[in-house]
């Protein structure tokens, strides 16, 4: 993580912001972010944004605050800072990454439809010209697939995950996408089995209900038959009694 952040600072940071010009608090916040100390990083970056730093440094601090909040699962806070960042005079190539990060926040908040729109539009704008572009695009496609999966569109999600494994074998999302493809295949099998079990259960219920209906009909016929036998026996007893009385006379 530290190497990646330092690489971003030295190589990607644009718009005239040079690492040697970053204030001590901003440098501390970025180092804490690189170490995975999200809350401490946010505290240091807040000092930059609320202090006497330049507008460019404040924008930089806001960007990394949003990422630290995203990493720390404070998705609402991250979205707020990303929204603020869009209004800041920040001439930096990373500004175009805002929809991607915001889309991930929305995904984690369960707002899959909103996240899907942002992530798909973001992915559609990225070419495949360089390895960096391919990495960004495959990551955006992966989260687009996750949104579709969470919304229950398994076939569409699977198509996207398959495209990642086929077109971007070097992507950091390759293994995750490959796993998702296997998981969706298993999910489809489970759905088919559940459907079979449901139909079988419904047929069983029909059979049980038909059996119960016949049993009730049989019981009713048996009760009626028993009543007839009882009535017949009573009639026979009366007849025998009359016959016996007549013989005595």
Does residue 137 form part of some domain? yes
**Residue 115 belongs to a domain:** yes
**In this predicted model, what pLDDT tens digit does every residue of 187-229 receive, in sequence order?**
888 777 777 877 776 666 666 666 667 667 756 766 766 677 6
227 belongs to a structural domain: no
Asked whether residue 72 carries a pLDDT value surpassing 60, the answer given is yes
pLDDT at 18 over 50: no
pLDDT at 15: 39
| Average pLDDT of span 36-45 | 95
Domain assignment of residue 208, yes or no: no
Which pLDDT band holds residue 24 (cuts at 50, 70, 90)?
A: confident
172 inside domain: yes
What CA–CA distance (Å, rounded) separates 191 from 82?
Answer: 39
d(CA 215, CA 55): 85
Residue 209 covered by a domain: no
Q: Mean pLDDT across the chain, nearest whole number? A: 82
Range of the domain at 162: 2-203
| Structural domain total, the chain | 1
pLDDT over 60 (residue 132): yes
Question: Looking at the domain assignment, is residue 117 inside a domain?
Answer: yes
- Does residue 113 surpass a pLDDT of 50? yes
Q: What is the CATH number of the domain that holds 119?
A: 1.25.40.10
């Amino acid at each position: 993580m530290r190497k990646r952040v330092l690489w971003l600072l030295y190589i990607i940071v644009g718009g005239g912001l040079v690492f040697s010009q970053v204030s001590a608090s901003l440098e501390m916040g970025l180092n804490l972010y690189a170490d995975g100390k999200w809350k401490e990083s946010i505290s240091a970056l807040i000092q930059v944004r609320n202090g006497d730093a330049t507008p460019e440094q404040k924008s930089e601090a806001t960007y990394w605050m949003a990422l630290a909040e995203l990493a720390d699962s404070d998705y609402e806070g991250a979205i707020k800072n990303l929204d603020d960042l869009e209004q800041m005079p920040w001439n930096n190539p990373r500004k175009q990454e805002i929809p991607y990060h915001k889309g991930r926040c929305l995904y984690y908040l369960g707002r899959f439809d909103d996240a899907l729109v942002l992530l798909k539009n973001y992915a559609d704008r990225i070419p495949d010209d360089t390895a960096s572009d391919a990495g960004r695009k495959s990551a955006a496609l992966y989260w687009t697939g996750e949104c579709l999966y969470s919304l229950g569109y398994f076939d569409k999600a699977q198509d996207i995950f398959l495209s990642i494994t086929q077109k971007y074998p070097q992507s950091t999302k390759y293994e995750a996408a490959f796993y998702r493809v296997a998981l969706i295949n298993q999910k489809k099998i489970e759905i088919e089995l559940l459907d079979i079990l449901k139909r079988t259960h419904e047929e069983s219920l029909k059979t049980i209900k038909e059996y119960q209906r016949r049993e009730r009909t049989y019981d009713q016929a048996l009760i009626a038959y028993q009543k007839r036998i009882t009535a017949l026996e009573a009639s026979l007893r009366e007849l025998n009694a009359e016959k016996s009385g007549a013989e005595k006379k």
